[in-house]
Amino acid sequence: MRSLTGRSPGPPQTSYAQQVAVVALTALAPASWGTTYVVTTELLPPGHPLFAGLMRALPAGLLALAITRVLPRGAWWWKAVVLGALNIGGMPLLFLAAERLPGGVAATMGAAQPLLVAGLAVAVLRDRPTAWRLTWGVTGVIGVGLVVLGPQARLDAVGVLAGLGHTATMAGGVVLTKRWGRPEGVGPLTLAGWQLTVGGLLLLPLTLAFDGVPQRIGLGAVGGYLWLGSMGGLIAYTLWFRGIGKLPVGASAPLVLLSPLVATVIGIALGESLSLLQTLGLVLALAALLAAQLKAPSLFGGIARGGRAGDHIREDRLREGRI
């Protein structure tokens, strides 16, 4: 359909209020993931990261399938497996990092995700990051590092590798989710259900072979598993996949900075205190998170305009299925 001027009207413009609402809802996902660390250390039986990942994924995925009653078709069978393995299958690495590192330190590994996403987006989406968002991505990592990587931080090699491994798989999942989008008529709840189910099924044999079921699961652990499977699982991933579909990849990825910041705030609520340097880091991380959602000023105008034009072209091609 063309307008009276003979030009195509183009995609509908999103109002500022709608964009803020999308960002706020998407931000709930990494914010809820920031509670994983305190739930793991305070409520869950220790030494069972695979079982924790299984309980977070499979029940929630099966519930979503029961609600939506939609299964993948065609190529989406293998795409759902790939996305489920990346976005959900790496969950035990997160729980392993949470067990072996202080909550804030474990969450810091995730602060590197925006930079990993930016690198992968160049290769997969042909999306060059703007200087504005790349600068604030680095600033966010520095800020989070100042908050949680103090002299008292206990750095365990296995925990660090597990945290970085989970960050890398999630970064790959974000980029491929943006690349493939969703099948026509399929909502974010359905997409989340597919991936949670696939991830849970992948974890099931590994859990039975290497982890097993904890000998004792108390009432607190039951509450912890329910929280991780509901708010930290089905609800969070539904909001996350919805946001990835609506936001530029350079705007959605920095929202993961909320995870370590929420973990830090929980630590303060439990009696921890922040030094002046940590307070500075908190301000830097929050500034980076907010700045990634804003348009670049004129100093970055030329690069940012090219990046935004490229975003529109790529979005149009993705809708048409040409890339």
Measured CA to CA in angstroms, residue 243 lies from 62, 104, 214 at distances of 22, 25, 35
pLDDT in tens, 5-51: 444 444 445 577 888 889 999 999 999 998 988 899 899 999 899 99
- Residue at token pair 């579909």: 245
pLDDT bin (cut points 50, 70, 90) of residue 305 is very low
Mean of the per-residue pLDDT values for the chain? 81
Output phi, psi for 187, to 5 deg: -90, 175
Q: Say how far apart CA 18 and CA 178 lie, in whole Å.
A: 20
How much is the average pLDDT of 50-75? 95
Domain ranges of the chain: 28-320
Helices (H), the chain: 16-33, 36-42, 49-68, 76-87, 91-100, 103-108, 113-124, 131-148, 157-180, 188-206, 219-229, 236-246, 249-252, 258-269, 276-291, 301-320
Which has the higher per-residue pLDDT, 129 or 164? 164
Asked which of 79-83, 165-169, 301-305 is least confident by mean pLDDT, the reply is 301-305
pLDDT in tens, 142-161: 887 777 666 555 667 788 88
SS3 296: coil
Structural contact between residues 99 and 49, judged by C-beta atoms closer than 8 angstroms: yes
Indicate if the pLDDT at residue 309 is higher than 50: no
pLDDT of residue 124: 85
pLDDT of residue 292: 76
Tokens of 163: 């945290």
pTM given for the model: 0.79
